[in-house]
């Protein structure tokens, strides 16, 4: 996770930021839930996109998981869109349309 004050990467269980010395607050929304994580890195996202091109349910599953995580919402939307498109394309190919 990253410090809310200076942006330095800190350990998940840190109490004080080693970069700026501010106390670490857990990031929460209105309901008090914590934001689950960070966006997927470029290698993970690339792998998920390639996997989705050949097996569309991969994109649908990971896309929905991403949509439920605030940090991965955009990536989740991309994977869901690719997954839906590839599913429709494969159905069209199978049906001979």
- pLDDT tens by residue, 48-82: 999 999 999 999 999 999 999 888 999 999 999 99
User: Are residue 21 and residue 46 in the same domain, yes or no?
Assistant: no
Q: Are 50 and 67 in the same domain? A: yes
Is residue 49 located within the same domain as residue 91? yes
Does residue 49 share a domain with residue 89?
Answer: yes
Residue 23 pairs in a beta bridge with 16
Give pTM, 2 decimals: 0.59
Which residue range is the domain that position 51 belongs to?
42-95
Tokens 């439920």 label which residue?
68
Q: Which two tokens stand for residue 27?
A: 């990031």
Q: Do 31 and 46 belong together in one domain?
A: no
Tell me, yes or no, whether 47 and 91 share the same domain.
Answer: yes
How far apart, in whole angstroms, are the C-alpha atoms of residue 71 and residue 32? Answer: 16
Same domain for 12 and 47?
Answer: no
Q: How many domains does the chain have?
A: 2
pLDDT of the residue at 34: 44
């Amino acid at each position: 996770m990253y410090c809310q004050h200076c942006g330095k990467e800190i350990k998940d269980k840190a109490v004080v930021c080693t970069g700026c010395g501010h106390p670490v607050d857990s990031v929460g929304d209105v309901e008090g839930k914590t934001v689950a994580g960070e966006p997927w890195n470029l290698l993970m996202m690339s792998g998920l996109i390639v996997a989705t091109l050949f097996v569309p349910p991969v994109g649908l599953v990971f896309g929905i998981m991403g949509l439920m995580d605030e940090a991965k919402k955009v990536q989740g939307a991309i994977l869901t869109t690719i997954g839906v498109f590839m599913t429709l394309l494969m159905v069209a190919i199978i049906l001979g349309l």
